[in-house]
Amino acid sequence: MDLISTLHGSMLQNFFPAGWDLAKIDRLAGHDIARQAWWNKDFHPVPCATLADFDTYMGHEIALEILKARQAGQPIAFILPVGPMGMYRWAVYFLTEWGVHCDHVHGFNMDEWADAQGNTLPGDQPGGFQHAMEQAFYGPLGTRTVPKNQRHFALKTELPTYAAQIADLKKQGAKLVTVFGIGRVCHIAFWEPHFAGEFKSETDWRAQTHRIGAILHPLTIEQNAITSFRSRTTLVPCYANTIGPGLFLAADRIIGGADGSLGRGMQWQGLSLRMTLLHEPSTWIPSSFMPTLAGRLFYLSELAGPLIADCN
């Protein structure tokens, strides 16, 4: 007996994104992670034995991009997540050790909690992504930090300007790097899988640069209740402002991370990782497009499976 055979008539029947082939997705759970035909030749998944390795490797990757742009005398633009977060401490460490000033860096936060109208938390309020970035990255860089006017946050007044700002930076020779995590339902930023049903073609879907007051999937809300709100689902907003594929797929390079292990054999991200890497690109699985770009995806080795039932 399995979910697929018992789905009909259950409360889950209309719960998963309409474009998901659950039988196909379930088969991916039995596959090893291996290179696929649609991957970019310069895309590489990188297994990490421990969370400490994961944080260090990702932080080094971010810092190295900043250093190389500095040495080339060019600006660099980053689309930045709040989750994963441990890499920022190591990015700060490497940049400080190397004596790299970050006045050539432009940071664009990919999303922010919001209400249905796109109103967000005050920038200094704990729980908000702007506050998290100031505390984890911009603040600890000290006198070598990113200038305040080059730190961009997903406010409803600024998010619609991201595309033009990034295009202008690219004209100045900037490289665009998308740093990302993978959501429980395979979102990138808060670009959710159910948005696919609104577009007639992949071309239309890929053209979307942002969304104000995006409606979040229930599994996204529960994921964040577990990872960010100490299980307090009632605190998690049901909406967010977010970039879309028109920005996160415009990257010259990507730096991804999957660290969704809960300890004691429990995890939430193993299937999402396989869907990202092994499912051909689908607008119903936004993260499945990321391997088509050059870069690296760091992941905890235990997420690679085997994905078998085990009571903990």
Torsions phi, psi for 212 (to 5 deg)? -95, 130
Q: How far apart are CA 105 and CA 108, in angstroms?
A: 10
**Alpha helix segments (H runs only) across the chain:** 3-6, 22-28, 51-72, 86-98, 129-133, 162-171, 202-206, 218-227, 245-248, 270-278
SS3 75: coil
pTM over 0.95: yes
User: In the chain, what percentage of residues exceed pLDDT 70?
Assistant: 100
Distances (CA, A) of 136 to 83, 126, 148: 11, 12, 15
pLDDT digits (tens, 9 = 90+) for 142-177: 999 999 999 999 999 999 999 999 999 999 999 999
The answer to whether the peptide bond before residue 84 is cis (omega within 30 degrees of 0) is yes
Query: Do 248 and 288 form a contact (C-beta atoms < 8 A)?
Result: no
pLDDT digits (tens, 9 = 90+) for 171-205: 999 999 999 999 999 999 999 999 999 999 999 99
pLDDT band at residue 1, thresholds of 50, 70 and 90? low
How many CA atoms within 13 Å lie on the side-chain side of 193? Answer: 27
Predicted local distance difference test score (pLDDT) of residue 125 = 85
- Residue 104, amino acid: H
Domain 44-304 has CATH 3.40.50.300: no
Q: How far apart are CA 51 and CA 29, in angstroms?
A: 22
- Show me where the domains of the chain are located: 44-304
pLDDT digits (tens, 9 = 90+) for 221-266: 999 999 999 999 999 999 999 999 999 999 999 999 999 999 998 9
pLDDT band at residue 74, thresholds of 50, 70 and 90? very high
Can you state the angle between helices 86-98 and 51-72, rounded to 10 degrees? 40
Q: How far apart are CA 105 and CA 244, in angstroms?
A: 21
pLDDT digits (tens, 9 = 90+) for 258-299: 999 999 989 999 999 999 999 999 999 999 999 999 999 999
- Paired tokens of 273: 């990782």
Given a cut of 80, is residue 117 above it in pLDDT? yes
